[in-house]
Homo-oligomer: A and B are copies of this chain.
Amino acid sequence: MNPIEGHLPTRSPLHDILAPTGIAVIGASADPTKRGYKAMVGLIKDGYRGDIYPVNPKADLILGVKAWPSVTAIPGNPELALICTPAPTVPGLIAECGRRGIKGAVILASGFAEVGGEGAALEREMMAKAEAHGVRIIGPNTSGIFNLHHRINLLALDNVKPGDVGIISQSGNMLLSLALEAQHNGQVGFSTYVGPGNQSDIGFNDYLRYLGEDEHTRVATLYVEGFRDGRKFLEVARDVTAMKPVVVYKSGSTEQGQKAASSHTGALAGSYAMTVDLLRQSGVSVVQYSDEILPVAEGLGLLQKSRGKRVAVISDGGGQATIASDRLAEAGLELAELSEATRQKLREVLFPQASTVNPVDVAGSTDANPSLLATCMEIVAADDNVDSVFLVGMFGGYSIRFAESLLGDEMRGAEAMVDLSNATEKPLVIYSLYTPIKPPALRRLHEAGLPVYASIEQSVRVLAALGERGQYLAQSHGQSRETPVEARLELTAMFRQARAEGRDLFEYEAKQLLRDHGVDVPLELVVRNEAELAEAASRFAGESGETPLAMKVVSKDILHKSDAGGVMLNVVGEAAMQDAREAILESCMAYDANAEIEGVLVAPMAKKGVEVIVGVIRDPIFGPVLMFGLGGIFVEILEDVAFRAIPLSRHDARSMVEQIKAKRILEGVRGESAVDKEALVELLLKVSSIVAAYPDLKELDLNPVIVNADGYAVVDARVIVDRDSDATDKDARA
């Protein structure tokens, strides 16, 4: 078994609360339908070794434990209180807890902020007491917590066993579902569970950091409906994923789902595609389906990381080898090309009719000799072309299907696989048809910490997650995310002036901002009068001879320049430039007589190439985010775009360009050359740095940027100014 990778060195105050030496159960009860009963049963049955203080004014004993009439009556010093009583009682109880020195309270009751109105007021009242008395709050409206290594099972879940999967879930049913799945499969155990509830005090990010620190947690598993402080989450996730895997299922992947989610939790849910990109950027393993959560968590927790995408498949049936090949390709993984030496070694142990081309098909060679599968795994694992090994087929079931006498050999095969998993740094992912009925050889693998999957599909998702995590740690994590740019005074002044005038940057200002920081924006001149036009004519004539020019109106009042007749293209020569300027001014005045016209922008016609879009938004949850995609229908219809939180690392920028489905177009189609991808990467990094340097920049839109084999040119640029960012200015405007 792979050792636990490590833990965050810090220690959050949550440890005292989640691993307390004593627990007060407020509202403890002898009625089996009550949570105050369940919690008592959970603590007693699981053998919690701390002190238990049932609080119930109407009972002397609860389940054989002495009960206390009130919190203040408790003799000892419990660190945690579980409050099972209704919402209106909570603020008073929190004050009592504080006076008793209780550090944290788990509040099960609903009827707080999630119902709005009076509930929200009650939650505020509770938080005021909590802050006044130094009590940290888990919940309210939480399904509860467990910490099985400390035998704290406040949910009284049956049949959950201690293990190394930590869970934070915004759905109690999801926890239950994972627990039942684990019970059924018999493999996975759990460390700590927290239902964050309304997060009125302790939030998702705190819980994640706790799991990062927790020595019993090998992998953190999160079910998320919505993030509050997404930017902070990304930071914490980056810290934690450096130490151990973080698996996230994010619900609301569709509009329909988002609607369903927000109707019941009230949490904001951003664009799913963006959220997934940002999570992956922070090293999070995102799973798409709820029935993948546990298999992926198990695989990431137990197996070696894969250094790459090249998978060697060992199979004892051609049909399933084909299915495996299909699923691997769909997941972006490759069939490793086995070296000739490897193939020769396989030929030496297999029948002549076996296929030693990956996927390896043993073609009957193992029917009387199943441990040979382990030998084949060992042979391919030694090949430098192989990053991970995938066993597909009947292993574990040979002694059932063929002859009982094969059991000994099959057990030897299992031992050999265990030995191999300890000796190699490559992951061994094992799928068996016989997984559902758990025969002895598979049980042996289980015991040794080698997961055995129940379907090819699940196995491939695990392989993909292992590869993704390996790649993240090797390439992305630790890369500098800063490519600093210093704000320039004159450009900062430009933002200030725009804000004072209640407008965004003019196109030429936006371009100046970019150009001054080294972005390739073709020369453009704003012509305000005939003298400036003559000068422009000579500048462009001097630069590139009879360059065809584009001319566009500059006016804060005219947004749709073409509609206003404010654009003329392919203008050549000074005379034509004069005509064009007059025509533009005339049309624009006719379009809007009150428009304040700054002048006319003159620039060379755009070069040929692929149109891409670079955009920046400030997401309310995740902060500044960069978007990249191809222009036109790719963005508008196909939504084929990549997102990264700003600032970007070089790896982030590269991976954006590689991620989009339309990247084949960047690589040259219909006889076109490939575009200069590295130039694009530089552009993305530069934009990221500029955004970081100018906090007044709210949104940015470079659309289009033309990119070809020689580089790129920003053709149009729009910068939205944050008009709310400076209180002084706001007041001045008011």
Contact = CB atoms under 8 A, between A and B. Distances in A.
A177 B256 contact: no
A329 to B, nearest CB: 4
Interface centre among A184, A289, A326, A393 (most CB of B within 10 A): A326
A77 interface: no
Contacts of A115: 353
Interface stretch (A88-96, A399-407, A408-416, A685-693): A399-407
A482 interface: no
B322 A669 contact: no
A170 interface: yes
A334 B256 CA distance: 8
Nearest to A368: B33
A318 interface: yes
A559 interface: no
Given A335-B256, A355-B264, A402-B33, A251 B183 contact: no
B322 A257 contact: yes
Contacts of A183: 436-437
B665 A184 contact: no
B171 A320 contact: yes
Contacts of A456: 290-291
A261 B176 CA distance: 40
A318 B264 contact: yes
A260 interface: yes
Interface in A319-354: 319-330, 334-335, 353
Interface string A152-196: 000000100000000001111110110011011100000000000
Interface in A631-681: 633, 636-638, 661-662, 664-665, 669-670
B325 A256 contact: yes
A173 B323 CA distance: 11
Interface residues of A, number: 85
B291 A330 contact: no
A225 interface: yes
A259 B337 CA distance: 13
A254 B665 CA distance: 21
A87 to B, nearest CB: 12
A223 interface: yes
Contacts of A437: 180, 183-184
Contacts of A291: 454-458
Given A455-B290, A455-B291, A181 B436 contact: yes
A357 interface: yes
Given A171-B317, A171-B318, A319-B169, A326 B457 contact: no
A434 B326 CA distance: 32
Interface string A415-459: 000000000000000000110110000000000000000111110
Contacts of A180: 397, 433-434, 436-437
A318 B110 CA distance: 14
A706 to B, nearest CB: 17
Question: Copy number in this complex?
Answer: 2
A214 interface: no
B319 A251 contact: yes
A544 interface: no
B436 A665 contact: no
Contacts of A256: 325-326, 328-329, 334-335
A255 interface: yes
B33 A394 contact: no
Contacts of A401: 176
A225 B322 contact: yes
Interface in A373-415: 393-394, 397, 400-403, 405
A359 interface: yes
B669 A260 contact: no
Interface in A255-307: 255-257, 259-261, 263-265, 289-291
Contacts of A185: 436
A361 interface: yes
A318 B638 CA distance: 30
Give 5 nearest A-B pairs by CB, closest first. Answer: A171-B319, A173-B317, A257-B326, A184-B436, A254-B329
23 contacts: A32-B403, A173-B320, A173-B393, A173-B394, A176-B394, A180-B437, A183-B437, A252-B322, A253-B326, A254-B326, A254-B330, A257-B329, A260-B318, A260-B326, A260-B359, A264-B318, A264-B355, A289-B455, A289-B457, A290-B320, A291-B457, A291-B458, A633-B662
Interface of A: 32-33, 115, 158, 169-174, 176-177, 180-181, 183-185, 223, 225, 251-257, 259-261, 263-265, 289-291, 316-330, 334-335, 353, 355, 357, 359, 361, 368, 393-394, 397, 400-403, 405, 433-434, 436-437, 454-458, 633, 636-638, 661-662, 664-665, 669-670
Given A225-B322, A260-B326, 6 more contacts: A176-B394, A180-B436, A183-B436, A184-B436, A251-B322, A251-B323
